[in-house]
Amino acid sequence: MARMEQVNALLQQELAFLITQYVPLKGGLVTVVWVDCTHDLREATVAVSVLPEKFAGTVLGQLRKKSGIFASHLRKRIKMKRLPSFRWQLDTTESNAAVLEDIFQSL
């Protein structure tokens, strides 16, 4: 596994843990789908899946607000020269797959 893949996987795992701690979602689920860091480690794009989707906007807002808290905790848990800033985005793969499945079933 390449070094960047290891960094991405480690950040994904640690962020998933921190999200369960700091972004409680009653009756819902937040999953970190993937993390992609730039080569200079200045920025990391973090894709999350939110179920049910009606909570997506609220969750993205909370994640953006708590990015500083996440970074603070990650600095204590991970030894890296530079910790990237996080850019949060919603992963819509599941909903897109459901739409395609409905289309195929109607054929």
Could you tell me the strand order of the sheet in which 43-51 lies? Answer: 29-37, 43-51, 85-90
Task: Please identify which residue in the block is written with the tokens 């919603």.
Answer: 90
Say what the pTM is: 0.86
pLDDT tens for each residue of 39-90: 999 999 999 999 888 999 999 999 999 999 999 999 999 998 899 999 999 9
Closest CA to 29 of 64, 54, 46: 54
If DSSP codes are grouped into helix, strand and coil, which group holds residue 39?
coil
For residue 103, the one-letter residue type is I
Per-residue confidence at 105, pLDDT binned at 50, 70, 90? Answer: confident
Q: Can you tell me the distance from the alpha carbon of 47 to that of 31, in angstroms, rounded to the nearest whole number?
A: 9
The pLDDT of residue 92: 81
